[in-house]
Amino acid sequence: MDSMNRRFAGIAVGILGVLWPLGAQSPPKANPASMESFQLPSHGAQLNALVYVAAGAGPHPAVVLLHGFPGNEKNLDLAQDMRRAGWDVLYFNYRGSWGSPGDFSFSHGIEDTAAAIAYLRQPAVAKQLRLDPGRIVLIGHSMGGFMAVQGTAADPAVIAMGLISAGDMGARIPQPLPKAMEQVTVKAVSAGLAAEGMAPLAGCTPDGLARETIANAAAWSFASKADALKTRPVFVVTSDDGLAPANGAFVAALRKAGNGRVKTLHLATDHAYSDQRRELSAAVLAWLATI
């Protein structure tokens, strides 16, 4: 009899073990955090893209997170942290980069950045992602910083801009460039681009990108954008990668133009901020909280 009772007790416990989780489950959380992947349209191409959607009904402010050349450090840890802080974060790959169709070029990257902003502003997209299309910030690392400067300067409705070791590509080319120095400059710029690694990029060559940079150097230089950026918050983060002097010159140009909302930070680390990721994230979040 005791044996039978123990068997029945065991069966009862087993049944409860199956049923109890069903009864104990919490109701589904309203508007949970999520990740939406999709193809972002830009000039006839469908770019690989995703959005880290923040929890809550929103509408959330949004960051367009722009990767560098070729984009090995994607800064998706920053995207996760920004989402936890209540921001939607859009990440995408420019045409011809990391599997996105089309040919890569710096001009195409500038166009793709504008297309990404326009996509987020579509009413149906903003509703789906629970974001506020009137509160969009651009944050870019390395070449992504270059894209952020071009995109923010061209779009007065972008409310702020963050730069992480931004590459001022136009400033690298002497202005005016003497004809006798053109080939030497093409060779030097081409070699620098090739050294960065171009395997993830399609439809381009180091020589072609170098010539594109030289042809647009004056129009693309950060100093030429200072007046267009003089009223908006700007955060400039630098490291020990050799780009700090050029970024410092841009900060000086912004302040000279009358921008009193420029914040700076220097972290003693490499271009990828390899041993300062937490510090970088904390600084970015603190700055975003002030916007």
Question: pLDDT at position 271, please?
Answer: 98
Q: Mean pLDDT per segment of 10 residues, for the chain of length 291 residues? A: 47 42 62 97 98 97 98 98 98 98 98 98 98 98 98 98 96 86 93 96 98 96 97 98 97 98 98 98 98 91
The residue count for the chain: 291
Whose CA is closest to 239, among 270, 217, 276, 208? 270
Helix, strand or coil for residue 49? strand
Question: pLDDT at position 120, please?
Answer: 98
- Give the residue extent of every domain in the chain: 32-288
Cis peptide before 28 (omega within 30 of 0): no
CA distances 270 to 74, 85, 133, 142, 241, Å, are 15, 26, 34, 12, 6
Question: pLDDT at position 25, please?
Answer: 60
Distance CA 190, CA 211 (A): 8
Whose CA is closest to 164, among 95, 87, 77? 77
Distance CA 226, CA 149 (A): 9
Question: pLDDT at position 251, please?
Answer: 98
Question: pLDDT at position 15, please?
Answer: 39
Instruction: Decide yes or no: CATH 3.30.360.10 for domain 32-288.
Output: no
Question: Structure pTM?
Answer: 0.90
